[in-house]
Amino acid sequence: MALLQVEDVSKRFGAIVVADHVNLSVGAGEALGIIGPNGAGKTSLFNLIAGRYTPDEGKIVFQDRDVTAASMRTRCHSGIARTFQIPQPFARMTVFENLMVAATAGARKSIASARRDCAEVLERTHLSAKANAQAGGLPLLDRKRLELARALATAPKLLLLDEVAGGLTEPECMALVETIQSVRESGVAIVWIEHVVNALMRVIDRLVVLHFGKLLTEGKPEAVMADAQVRQIYMGIEPT
Ligand SMILES: Nc1ncnc2c1ncn2[C@@H]1O[C@H](COP(=O)(O)OP(=O)(O)OP(=O)(O)O)[C@@H](O)[C@H]1O
Ligand SMILES: [Mg+2]
């Protein structure tokens, strides 16, 4: 049984169609990649899954429960966590305080268990040495790590990653990939939107391409990347 099912979901803003009858399912523990040109509706799909947007049509089912009308908070409590394309920490709080907010408000943990779990998340995301640093002053890699750590502190079953690798150097990117792989190995399902395809390919089982709000194709990552239509739309490579 799928962990998440997006069933025939559509959403428009005036003339812009951000989701056009999208059908997608994610299995427990699966790692799914999403690519597509700028403005294809990738972040909007996360907004629909996480509850920031309500679909005009269709249904979102998480763990067999229809959550289409559920608030972001309820979805977070039930195990859906996301990162933002532009990191959104509480800039004046420390790294640890940011995680404590996520663990207590996002996962309704007691202070004592939140402390314990946040210390563990710090370790997993290689942020222990920065625990007391102000979030607003972190360099890019640590801001990305914190974005991931805040999502993990809510103890998700489904983790939505929105372009976490963008802007990093190659070694930084590989360090982040390692962390994401370890999250994945712990049984958390991942949906990862990413333009840095070589990073994505190291983690995912399945790849989906979005174009103008439509699901263009999905399948084994290598097969999807070799698809002539995908190459043309996504990479601008004309068919030979
Ligand atoms: N709340 C909104 N109101 C109006 N238009 C919106 C809204 N949200 C998204 N859009 C528009 O919908 C389109 C898809 O946006 P979205 O952010 O989902 O794209 P994306 O695939 O994530 O792109 P990128 O790769 O640049 O992050 C864009 O044209 C965007 O301007
Ligand atoms: Mg986006």
Q: Quote the percentage of the chain above a pLDDT of 90.
A: 91
Range 183-206 average pLDDT: 96
Q: Is residue 179 part of a domain?
A: yes
CATH no. for residue 217? 3.40.50.300
Count other Cβ atoms within 10 Å, centred on residue 66. 12
Q: Based on the domain organization, do 150 and 169 belong to the same domain?
A: no
DSSP, res 157: S
Q: Are residues 148 and 179 in the same domain?
A: no
CA-CA-CA-CA torsion sign (207, 212, 215, 218): negative
Does the C-beta of 58 come closer than 6 Å to ligand 1? no
Has residue 235 got a pLDDT over 80? no
Domain identity same for 62 and 172: yes
Q: Report how far residue 95's alpha carbon sits from residue 50's, in angstroms, rounded to the nearest whole number.
A: 23
Average pLDDT, the chain: 95
Does the residue 84 lie in any domain? no
pLDDT at 143: 94
Structure tokens at 27: 């299995």
Q: What is the pLDDT of residue 234?
A: 80
Q: What is the pLDDT of residues 26-72, one digit of tens each?
A: 999 999 999 999 999 999 999 999 999 999 999 999 999 999 999 99
Q: Residue 239's pLDDT is what?
A: 64
Q: How far is the CA of 105 from the centre of ligand 2 (A)?
A: 26
**Ligand 1, atom 16, residue with closest C-alpha:** 41
Domain span holding position 124: 90-155
Claim to verify: residue 48 and residue 112 sit in the same structural domain: no
Same domain, yes or no: 191 and 75:
yes
Q: Which long-range contacts (CB under 8 A, 24 or more apart) does 186-189 make?
A: 187/28, 187/29, 188/29, 188/156, 188/157, 188/158, 188/159, 189/3, 189/4, 189/26, 189/27, 189/28, 189/29, 189/30, 189/31, 189/32, 189/157, 189/158, 189/159
pLDDT band at 129 (very low <50, low <70, confident <90, very high): very high
Tell me: pLDDT of 236 over 90: no
Beta carbon of 79 within 6 Å of any ligand 1 atom? no
Give the single-character DSSP code of 175.
Answer: H
- In short, whether 42's Cβ falls inside 6 Å of ligand 1 is yes
Q: Is 43 in the pocket of ligand 1 (CB under 6 A)?
A: yes
CB 228 within 8 A of CB 210: no
**Rounded to two decimals, what is the model's pTM?**
0.95
Q: Are 207 and 33 in contact (CB under 8 A)?
A: yes
Is 97 found in the same domain as 68?
Answer: no
Task: Say if 192 falls within a structural domain.
Answer: yes
The structural domain count of the chain equals 2
Banded pLDDT at 1 (limits 50, 70, 90): confident
pLDDT band for position 240 (cuts 50, 70, 90): low
Are 172 and 70 contained in the same domain?
Answer: yes
3-state helix, strand, coil in the chain (%, to 5): 40, 25, 35
pLDDT digits 0-9 by tens, 76-111: 999 999 999 888 899 999 999 999 999 999 889 999
Per-residue buried b or exposed e for 10-25, using 16+ beta carbons within 10 Å of the residue's own CB: bbeeeeebbbbebebe
